[in-house]
């Protein structure tokens, strides 16, 4: 058995919404050759295996592929390490060094837009048009967005990362990194059914993304 923490990342101010995430803090309990299968069994958009908590070394899997970087897994894992072990200054997914910042009940990470899945961006005319968007037929990695309130930097977005085995993502930090660098300003993204992502340019072509995380469950998971 391996201990699995189940989180939701990028929740709203009341703990609603958020993208489910599975984290194995003792990643060694799941052999490297079994990790993709475990992620597929769980069926979450991402599952994280922590290989070295002190150093921040992690690996990230969707049900169909391993990712070099993703936003909600790094934010959620940084939050969980602070809660269960100790705060970290950086995480080390395969893409490279990811700085971490804690601010009250919110956790932030800094990433590069070239890391993680690359999305096909489509700016629509209104937030209502984003809401009404049907499942995309012309892209297997579509990110659709519109300003709900442009002066306030409030964005409505939906992301369909079919290429990595996810029909529609509830909250996508890697997409938020890309969008913040594209628009060059601080934004608040409302995605999925009720998720909230804070994002802003961080200099050097990077962006910082973050928000609130909640812990839903801790349980043993069988690993053959």
Fold equal for 2-98 and 120-209:
yes
Cβ-based neighbours of 136, under 8 Å, separated by 6 or more: 142, 144, 160, 162
Rounded Cα gap, residues 157 and 193, in angstroms: 10
pLDDT recorded at residue 164: 87
- Per the listing, tokens 């029909």 go with 167
pLDDT recorded at residue 138: 79
Name the nearest CA neighbour of 223 among 50, 11, 66, 31: 31
CATH for the stretch 2-98: 3.10.310.10
Q: Could you state, in order of their start, the residue ranges of all structural domains in the chain? A: 2-98, 120-209
DSSP-assigned beta bridge partners for residue 19: 9
Q: Classify domain 120-209 at the CATH topology level.
A: Diaminopimelate Epimerase; Chain A, domain 1 (3.10.310)
Q: Are 50 and 25 in contact (CB under 8 A)?
A: yes
pLDDT recorded at residue 101: 98
pLDDT tens for each residue of the chain, 224 residues long: 899 999 999 999 999 999 999 999 999 999 999 999 999 999 999 999 999 999 999 999 999 999 999 999 999 999 999 999 999 999 999 999 999 999 999 999 999 999 999 999 999 999 999 999 987 777 899 999 999 999 999 999 999 999 888 899 999 999 999 999 999 999 999 999 999 999 999 999 999 999 999 999 999 999 87
Could you tell me the pTM of the whole model?
0.96
């Amino acid at each position: 058995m391996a201990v699995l923490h189940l989180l939701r990342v990028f929740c709203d101010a009341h703990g609603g919404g958020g993208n489910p995430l599975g984290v194995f803090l003792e990643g060694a309990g799941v052999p490297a050759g079994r990790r993709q299968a475990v992620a597929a069994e769980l069926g979450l958009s991402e599952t994280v295996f922590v290989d070295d908590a002190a150093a921040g070394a992690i690996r990230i899997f969707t049900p169909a592929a391993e990712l070099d970087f993703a936003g909600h897994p790094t934010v959620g894992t940084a939050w969980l390490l602070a809660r269960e072990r100790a705060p970290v200054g950086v995480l080390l997914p395969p893409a490279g060094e990811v700085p971490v910042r804690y601010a009250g009940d919110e956790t932030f990470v800094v990433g590069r837009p070239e890391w993680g899945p690359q999305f096909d961006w489509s700016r629509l005319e209104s937030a209502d048009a984003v809401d009404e968007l049907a499942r995309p037929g012309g892209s297997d990695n579509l990110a659709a967005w519109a300003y709900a309130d442009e002066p306030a930097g409030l964005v409505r977005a939906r992301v369909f990362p079919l290429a990595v085995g996810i029909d529609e993502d509830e909250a996508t930090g890697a997409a938020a990194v890309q969008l913040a660098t594209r628009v060059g300003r601080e934004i608040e993204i409302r995605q999925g059914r009720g998720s909230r992502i804070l994002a802003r340019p961080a200099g050097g072509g990077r962006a910082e993304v973050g928000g609130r995380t909640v812990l839903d469950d801790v349980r043993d998971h069988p690993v053959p």
